Structure 1
């Protein structure tokens, strides 16, 4: 019986095992089909959502720029971070309008434009409706405080009137020329002459940044930080004579001959200011590249970069307090000083309220130029003067180097000016006079064309103080961020024509070769309307003098294959510098 039942037991176990296997297989098949159906459903849903997003007029099909709910256009900004300026140009080019309404993921829509008539609306006809705004002030609060570039309303109008009084002084023009020329002749050209090496590249942008910082500090505070003189570019070997007409024996002799008086400031204060200002500027610029809550949290707890900013500003404030007090003492003793600090101190002693002759304007009684406000104003001028001139000259020199025809035309203009000098001017020490610089029409066109393509300040933001409608019909809600994109405007075919991407200095000259400026609302490099830059003319004087002096003395060659990488922040610079080699120029073209 036991032997007979064994096969049956085996068969039974086999059948039972087969049933279990089949059951598990059916269960697995069921799970697999469920998984397939689930994945298919998810895929179909994603396809549906993608198609819905792609064709939705407020998101993927938005002619102003694609965006997502909640996070807005941020993913596309991050995706195009390496070419952000070019991507902005692409958005404007593909848009039926020159004004974009962008969803930035915030509660209100941001509005950006490259339309000259809209820029005119923002900067002039509806100027009071578009201030800097409360969302802008905190970014520069530590560095610029309540300075003219970081305030609105009555405080801004007061500073503007005072600054206008200073900048319209006839003597300031001669002082600017004297300081710029002295720095070029005594420091910049000898430094370049000591770096004549056919194989070694130097960073011309870094050199120009040192030059402009030295110059703007002399113009503003009456103190020379001598960054260029103590830089890695300054060598102690070699024959650094420039041309006979510009050779000077020493900086002090040169300054004495031009009646330039600089404040005697301890070296440690100067070094602290130089280093502190650089650190403060970098940290302030970085704030624009990160979410607000990140840097505001760090500032609240005084940690990380915000702690470094506090320490840096302590050094800046020590220097500013010292030179302001020293300036007051020297002026009280009768010392003749022509820098902006001295001019503002003199003006502060007068009845500054008398500058306001409009009885209908906001009352400004009680407003005085305190030491704190004076520091904020002067630091604002240092920031603006240093960055705009260094950027403008750097990109201009690069474009001149890669366009030999343009370089030749600039040299021919310089040669013509030199030929026109009177015989009794042959022994002069200055590179060029103010009148000679004014005659450089073609060079003025070169600089203007360079800044059209590579503006020192690529974008400018405002705040909508009330609901409004732009001239092109774009609605603007109160509280919106409003900006005009200077970089994209200079490359917009509907603004500058089909050749807008070409470097053509001739577009700025009339049939007689005389420079003809464009409308500041079409070319808002120095802003426009009531906030137009007071130092615009002085900036062009310095840039023309600097470029003319450089290419008259040296031949520059850019490193083969070089292409500038543009920085993102308050000012546009080359993140990879401008590597050049140079050799002395033998003759000027006829």
Structure 2
């Protein structure tokens, strides 16, 4: 055991020693970040990868923007390869045509297991199929209508709007990103587990869980950026540093999720029939008896429901503050829907829908996603893929590709998703999911896509009808896009809330 540990430690530090030598002997001038990095024997492009640890998504996007094929292969330690692509043909090949050959794989599974276990976002094969099949029953029209009318609207009018009114009256500053995460957390717990954590209030007992969940998400994300997995595995073995913090955070998260599972099991045991059937009830009624597995499922759906919509809405409100003309168009649309039932109102908000699509084009909640090749393959653009290679498709880069969106790709332009009919009415014009894989595509396409849009449009309409969201930042401030497992606005989004009166 001691010899194995020493050998592991030696292999761990060897690449860094080589990196140090190269760093000292290389020129000090900054290289163009859009030019593919050099690679060296043994260490590959690790020198460049290490230097772009914090902005790797933006850096790889720049490289892909300047790649003729929209694809680039990184050379890793000890001869490994990692392929990044922003080519729609490649994305379709990986996510649909050759779906069975591109799986989550052992590397991703290992990185996320401590946090997500065997939840739907971390597994392949029969376990994934089972979870997806059971989950699919929660996304029909009846469930969507209930979600908007009974869950989102209640949370919006009962908690979020009153909070904003109080903040506006007191002229306080709040972190909108944090509030939107709490709001989304309440919503997903209600619809998926029949449980109300009341997390929008900072004094809620669930606030401690929210902090632990954020820590677990952030630290799990750093594992993906490690030069190789042995580094974090050694830290986990000795229970030090970030791995110790991850263990503590995951323990708190799992305790909270396990409590939800056990309370739901007791509820099912006490009642012959439930007034309403939520997602967790479906799983527990399907023959699932393993509480740890049920806990994995709970954590995965919290991640999906909490972090993605809140991230998109955070950037949506930022972009509206920079584009007052767009905000005026949304207000016109809101005014035109006044008096309609809630579900019909949000379903028919075409211009707002386009604004949200445009927001996620520029700031996708999941900016990159990798798959592992089960066998040797060749991508449509000719890129050779060896068995075990990770192929990462890059929604963040794809939203910035001139070849896909034109020379005005950097502009926030909802009209690129719209066309007017002869009467001047907007209609939505979508893009294929392989050009715009924000919700993934193929057999693993996001089941909650429609639910997410309905929730975001309801929040947008409810908030903008009453308030103006004003960033509490200095002139010229530009927020930073950071990534853990999902995207965030670095440091949160400080805003002031101003009453505008109802939009009649």
TM-score (norm 2): 0.86
In the TM superposition, what are the counterparts of 1:357-372 in structure 2 within 5 Å? 368=288, 370-372=290-292
Q: Secondary structure at the match of 2:439?
A: coil
Report what 1:379 is aligned to: 299
Corresponding position: 1:575 with 2:483: no
Q: 1:230 to 1:198 in 2, by over 3 A?
A: closer
Q: What SS is found at the alignment partner of 1:111?
A: strand
Going from structure 1 to structure 2, the CA distance change for 1:106 and 1:187 (only over 3 Å counts) comes to farther
For residues 440-455 of structure 1, what are the structure 2 equivalents within 5 Å? 440-455=349-364
Would the aligned equivalents of 1:219 and 1:340 in 2 still touch at CA under 8 Å?
Answer: yes
Measured after TM superposition, the shift of residue 137 of structure 1 is: 0.5
2:321 aligned partner = 401
Aligned to 2:282: 343
Is the partner of 2:76 in helix, strand or coil? coil
Name the counterpart of 1:547. Answer: 460
Q: Secondary structure at the match of 1:556?
A: strand
Q: Residues 271 and 440 of structure 1: is their aligned pair in 2 closer, same or farther, counting only changes over 3 Å? A: closer
Give the Cα–Cα distance (whole angstroms) in 2 for the partners of residues 80 and 280 of structure 1: 22
Determine which of 172, 178, 185 is the counterpart of 1:206: 178
How far does residue 169 in structure 1 lie from its aligned partner after superposition? 6.9
Residue 192 of structure 1: aligned partner: 164
- 2:392 is paired with a residue whose SS is strand
The farther-off stretch of 551-560 and 390-399 is 551-560
Partner of 2:381, secondary structure, is: coil
Larger displacement relative to structure 2 (435-444 or 166-175): 166-175
Q: Does 1:478 align with 2:391?
A: no
- Counterpart of 1:279 (choices 215, 230, 252) is 215
> Per the alignment, in what secondary structure is the counterpart of residue 544 of structure 1?
helix
Choose 369-378 or 271-280, whichever is displaced more: 271-280
SS state at 2:83 partner: strand
Moved more, 160-169 or 384-393: 160-169
- 1:465 CA drift (Å): 1.1
1:414 equivalent in alignment to 2:334 = yes
* Partners of 1:92 and 1:488 within 8 A in 2: yes
Structure 1: state its 5+ residue gaps: 1-45, 52-58, 232-266, 350-367, 422-431
Q: Following TM superposition, by how much is the alpha carbon of 1:197 offset from its aligned partner in structure 2, in angstroms?
A: 5.8
| Residue 80 of structure 1, CA deviation | 4.4
* Compared CA separation, residues 133 and 338, structure 1 to 2 (3 A): same
Size of the aligned set, in residue pairs, is 468
Aligned residue runs from structure 1 range 525-564, under 5 A: 525-558=438-471, 559=473, 560-564=475-479
Is residue 198–residue 582 contact of structure 1 (8 Å, CA) maintained in 2? Answer: no
Task: Output aligned runs, 1:190-269, within 5 Å.
Answer: 190-196=162-168, 200-231=172-203
Partner of 1:446, secondary structure, is: helix
Q: Which residue is equivalent to 1:242? A: none
Higher strand proportion: 2
CA RMSD of aligned residues (A): 2.6
Structure 1: distance between partners of 2:498 and 2:213? 33
| 1:314 and 2:286 are equivalent in the alignment | no
Does 2:494 align with 1:585?
A: no
Structure-2 change in CA distance of 1:80 and 1:282 (3 Å): closer
The alpha-carbon deviation at position 76 of structure 1 amounts to: 2.7
Q: Which runs of 5+ in 2 are unaligned?
A: 1-21
Distance 1:111 1:196 in 2: 48
Runs of 4+ in 1 over 6 A off after TM superposition: none
CA distance in 1 between counterparts of 2:367 and 2:72 reads 17
> What is the match of residue 83 of structure 2?
111
CA separation of 1:129/1:103 partners in 2, compared to 1, >3 Å: closer, same or farther?
Answer: same
Aligned to 1:507: 416
Classify the secondary structure of the residue corresponding to 1:498.
Answer: coil
- Counterpart CA distance in 2 for 1:521 and 1:498 is 20
Report the 3-state secondary structure (helix = DSSP H, G, I; strand = E; otherwise coil) of the residue aligned with 1:510. Answer: strand
How far apart, CA to CA, are the structure 1 residues paired with 2:210 and 2:53? 31
- Correspondent of 2:72 among 100, 120, 125: 100
Matches of 2:54 and 2:232, distance apart in 1 = 23
Query: Which structure has the larger Rg?
Result: 1
- Displacement of 1:571: 1.1
Tell me the TM-score normalized by structure 1: 0.74
